A and B are shown apart, each in its own frame.
Chain A
């Protein structure tokens, strides 16, 4: 049965879109039919991170308003034939999203895909609410930083109250996972950054993965390639582990070593 997963955080800039793209591509690589949906109406960016921005014709809002068929709005990935992107509108505002419209689109997608990954906008307003409302599971993206952890806690509260699963009240709430991003082992060692254990103690949800702070992430976004399509990178490996856990594999938690160019390499200049 199709599974709907929201990637959310409350706070902006913590890596929701990067994580959506990486998880989507990771699932698709394993052969699961996967669609990633951008819920950030007016600030479309998932298409850019997925590298399909030049091929966007219609969007989620066009489909909701009946101006285009769902099939016409889905952009198929050129690298993975199991992966599609449903972009959002760059010009409309968030009021164009309706609960009924989103439910209908997700219902149609469920017939075709195994995994539906919803990229939530920052904040807790309409777009974020609708992105999480129909979710079966949630990936809560968090940086080891005070405001991010606080916002994640707030989002966890909303997942437990303002979603369809929560409203049904049959005990089967949205299953939330913590994805810790931009983790810097050196700074943790120096006592400048909260260690994983502390974040876990505060948020008290299962850990899906630890993504190290890595130059790969910016490089991947520069060229429009989900991080998991770069198999050699440490962030890519960390996301691959997270994807494995998401589909139920038991995997030991490991922190990928940082990619740090040696002094000589730094001196001689870096290569892309």
Chain B
């Protein structure tokens, strides 16, 4: 009944947002698929290197990822204990 009004569908802002979010997400999904263990492995290797030089608790590692349009950023924070020697958990 309202077919006439739908002949030229207007794309609303939220529909555009949906498309853009999906494009970014799917590009990452498709490329990540082959390497689903990338981040755990990366974390393990980084910790291994840091532990050669200091004692670090594996609970004190914070990894943040922000997937972007053109580039993503990976942020790794490792809480380093103070000068006094401490046993790693």
Question: Chain B contact residues: over half helix, strand or loop, or mixed?
Answer: helix
For the complex, give the distance between the alpha carbons of A48 and B36 in Å.
Answer: 18
Contacting chain B: which of A52-60, A110-118, A151-159, A160-168?
Answer: A52-60
Contact at B18–A221, with CB atoms within 8 Å? yes
Query: With a CB–CB cut-off of 8 A, which chain A residues contact B21?
Result: 48, 53, 222-224
Q: Does A147 contact B (CB under 8 A)?
A: no
Query: With a CB–CB cut-off of 8 A, which chain A residues contact B59?
Result: 69, 71
Q: How many residues of B contact A (CB 8 A)?
A: 30
Contact at A223–B64, with CB atoms within 8 Å? no
Q: Does B83 contact A (CB under 8 A)?
A: no
A186 smallest CB distance to B (angstroms)? 14
Q: Whose C-beta in chain A lies nearest to the C-beta of B34?
A: A91
Contact at A48–B25, with CB atoms within 8 Å? yes
Q: Does B12 contact A (CB under 8 A)?
A: yes
Q: Whose C-beta in chain A lies nearest to the C-beta of B22?
A: A48
Contact at B10–A270, with CB atoms within 8 Å? yes
CB < 8 Å neighbour of B65 from A56, A92, A221, A270: A56
Report if A223-B18 is in contact (Cβ < 8 Å); known contacts: A55-B65, A91-B32.
yes
Contact at B15–A222, with CB atoms within 8 Å? yes
Query: With a CB–CB cut-off of 8 A, which chain B residues contact A224?
Result: 21
A71 smallest CB distance to B (angstroms)? 7
For the complex, give the distance between the alpha carbons of A221 and B15 in Å.
Answer: 9
Q: Whose C-beta in chain B lies nearest to the C-beta of A218?
A: B14
A189 smallest CB distance to B (angstroms)? 18
Report if A54-B67 is in contact (Cβ < 8 Å); known contacts: A219-B14, A267-B5.
yes
For the complex, give the distance between the alpha carbons of A54 and B23 in Å.
Answer: 12
For the complex, give the distance between the alpha carbons of A269 and B5 in Å.
Answer: 8
Interface residues of chain A, those whose CB is within 8 Å of chain B, are 48, 53-58, 62, 67-69, 71-72, 89-92, 218-219, 221-224, 266-267, 269-272
